[in-house]
Amino acid sequence: MHTPIIPQFLRRLVAPCAVLLFGSFTLHAQNTTGFTISKIEPAIVTTPTISYSGATAKSSRPKSWMEIEVTFGWQSSTALSPADKYADDIVLDYYVLLANKNTAAPQGTLLTGQVTHSSVPAMQNDLKSVMYISPRTLERFFDGKIPSSASSAIVDIGVTISRQGQVVAQKSLKSPGVWWPQYQKTSGFLLNKNDTPFASLNSDYYEAVKKQ
């Protein structure tokens, strides 16, 4: 029995439908698990200046970082025992499509990174997660010049939340559905808060990052 050959034009029709279908399943999971993502906020921020004593102060000019802040929530539809009111190993995957289109990256560069939060409380809608792109990384992908604004640096951002290996929520800054699988991923350039000069700042504002 011969396997039917799918014409190229049909493949072009099927692929977007599959992406939309996957996105609808993910959104359904978001509604049934209680996890939601309400906001994705990119911003350009400068390296924090921290005063200290006991060593020679070294002069340097603060540079610009890309900060990507995510607001998410967890509302349980059932009563939780005291032991279940906090969740560990809540994983957020970030997909940041840079607006650095060139010959080497005609669609831009998709940076990917992951952060795991622990002791995430239930019944709250204003939980915060954050990731950063360093000044050197921005210079690297933008021909030596750091973009002046988040809007000029980014095409789109996607974020997913996973628990126990299953995606339970997803959101995109601009585009509908799950668009990031179609791009080649570049990992190692998105940093969680603990790996940046911002580590000691706003400790009570962001959810705790699990040490790897």
pLDDT by residue (tens digit) across 87-134? 999 999 999 999 999 898 999 999 999 999 999 999 999 999 999 999
Question: Could you give the count of Cα atoms lying within 13 Å of 148 in the half-sphere of its Cβ?
Answer: 0
Taking the alpha carbons at both ends of the chain, their separation in whole angstroms is 51
Q: Is residue 206 part of a domain?
A: no
Of 204, 210, 188, whose CA–CA distance to 128 is shortest? 204
Q: Is residue 158 part of a domain?
A: yes
Strand partners for 186: 111
| CATH code at position 106 | 2.60.40
Within the chain, residue ranges assigned H as helices are: 8-33, 135-141, 150-153
Q: What's the pLDDT tens digit per position in 154-169?
A: 999 999 999 999 999 9
What does pTM read for this prediction?
0.83
Q: Of 72, 98, 93, nearest to 151 (Cα)?
A: 98
CA distance 47 to 57: 16
E strands in 28-105 = 35-46, 64-74, 86-87, 90-98
Q: Which domain holds residue 174?
A: 8-46+64-76+84-195
> What does each C-alpha distance from 151 to 28, 72, 126, 191 come to in angstroms?
30, 22, 24, 20
Residue 25 lies in a domain: yes
Confidence of residue 24 (pLDDT cuts 50, 70, 90): very low
Q: Looking at the 3D structure of the chain, how many domains does it have? A: 1
Enter the DSSP assignment of 142.
T
211 assigned to some structural domain: no
Q: Decide if 203 is inside a domain.
A: no
Indicate whether 51 belongs to any domain.
no
201 lies in some domain: no
CA–CA distance, 100 with 153 (Å, rounded to integer): 7
pLDDT tens figures, 179-207: 999 999 999 999 999 999 999 999 999 99
Would you say residue 160 lies in a domain?
yes
Q: What is the pLDDT of residue 50?
A: 81
Residue 189: predicted pLDDT: 98
